[in-house]
Amino acid sequence: MSDITQDYLEKSGVYYATSELWDNGIIDLADTRKVLGISLSVALNREFGKTPSGVLSV
């Protein structure tokens, strides 16, 4: 296997991305419904004001 392929395989995994702090962590599959429920609850019960700089798309 080439060095590029090996590097790609190592760096494309979820554990590598999380270790580099590119996301907020990995959700345990058993907790998916709970985390989704909390997230939707927060999103639906918050008042949103006007943003001074528009929408940030990442």
Q: If DSSP codes are grouped into helix, strand and coil, which group holds residue 9?
A: helix
Quick check: pTM over 0.85? no
Asked if residue 57 has pLDDT above 70, the reply is no
pLDDT for residue 47 = 83
Residues 2-31 have pLDDT tens digits of: 999 999 998 988 888 888 888 878 889 999
pLDDT for residue 30 = 95
Using CA atoms, how far apart are residues 20 and 24, in angstroms rounded to an integer?
10
Closest by CA position to 29, among listed 9, 14, 50, 11? 14
Asked if residue 37 has pLDDT above 90, the reply is yes
Q: Which residue has the higher pLDDT, 32 or 54?
A: 32
Question: 40-47 — which CB contacts under 8 Å span 24+ positions?
Answer: none
